Structure 1
Amino acid sequence: MPTPEDQVRLEKEKHLAATAAVRWVRDGMLVGLGTGSTAAPFIAQLGEAVRGGLRVQATATSIASEKLAREVGIPLVEPRRGLRFDLTVDGADELDAQLRLVKGGGGALLREKVLATASDYLLIVADSSKEVPQLGRFPLPLEVVSFALPWVLDAVAALGGAPVLRMDRQNPTQTAHSDQGNLLVDCYFEVLPDPEQLARQLKTIPGIVEHGLFLGLARAALVARGEQVLLLRPGAEPADAASFSELP
């Protein structure tokens, strides 16, 4: 468990990463808004920029992020055919050196993946605790149709995932549901030596609406380490994010 000092440091890192991301939002962009403890500061700071004259429109990956966006004055657009985002900014529960991600700890993985796939540029914002040498420490979330739950649990257990039905954080006697009304299952693989293979296996299990492996989607990540924000890209050395005035 993080100490109180660690929690303060990580919270500061989240805000630093969010601030760095806002610098790259340009007038006229259509922006996808992520969900979670690092995406929320980005939305709040983007709202400040909008109130200062920046003209953007956005779509949110969750009801919570949509509510926050409305509160801070970001104009929202509804999903429609042909809609593509110039930039989506979202957090991650884990990210490795290849920018493979585990997402969905907040239960918004389906909408997060929809927007990530509909975006020209997916930018991840994260504190230093989200960097891992190998994915798997954080439980892999699944969004599951309720009727199929018993068979999904059997199939994931056969893959070594130790699946656990997620309970509602506010009411632990009730099951948690996504904004789409699906159940959420957390899979404790511990390590994921081949995320690509696992993603293919999960896609073949009927009843899994979506899984939390985001592979080949992130173009870059802004990761705060202490007072510095680093730009991470697949196949490139980490760089000081302050040296980039535009999306890299």
Structure 2
Amino acid sequence: MDSLEIIESGASQEEARGVLVLWPSTGGNARSFRIRDSELEVLGLRLVRFNPPSHGNSKGIYDPKTAISLLNVYLKERGYTNKELYGIGHSGGGAALMMYAKEVPFQKLFLLSPILDSVLSLRYLYESGSIEEFSRLLLKPGISDEEKPNKQILETLSNSLWLEGGNVGHLNVPIQNSRIRLDDLSQFLKNLFLPGFVVDTSVIQKRTHYTIFLPKVDKWFPKEYSVSFAKENGLNCIEIPEAPDHFFSSSWLTVWKQIQKIGF
């Protein structure tokens, strides 16, 4: 746990009626979500900003299942699973929270463009011609595209052949830039995409109320799939027209207002 960055704020441990877990997108940082302590105190909520391994200042190699286990231990040790649980998850973090909700009783989950199928997400990036946006998140800073390992990363990820053969062993390099920190890029790719993970109907819990937020345009995951999944499983689904992309750029406060409107 010493290598994990988990930041708490809001109502005190003793006085909080509930706990709000915030899980960022894969490679994201839980610090980037602005929520005032005064708002949390009024709501009676303790906020737990969870940066899983390789996110924020957390060290290690990211794997959703391991990260869920680490969060579970942390919450249980502090008695937080005995309080009302709420969650906000973005992208891959949203999918992880949905999987975690099978194990502990969340009251409500607020999910920003959850990646319901990691391999489908990657194939969609190829189909939409946006794979380079993903690839460039994984480059070493300060060196050109023609130098190692950036050249190998861009060449390997330029087409989907590596998804078929799983040939990423040559990318066993550490990556640290302003967006992501990885001890081993090849292991990261294996953990998330070979074979990948799927959030299906078996994950949905009747005890939990789910709301999916979608941006106006999403190049990282097909919105039609998310809308269809929400309808099939009776989940609340809201489009945020002000959100221009998968990362909800400059529109988090709009989402937060919608969350407050739905209520805790």
**What TM-score bracket applies, with the shorter chain setting the length?**
0.3 to 0.5
Higher helix proportion (structure 1 or 2): 2
Q: Which has the higher contact order (CA 8 A, sep 6+)?
A: 1
Please report the TM-score for the alignment, with normalisation by the length of structure 1: 0.39
Please report the TM-score for the alignment, with normalisation by the length of structure 2: 0.37
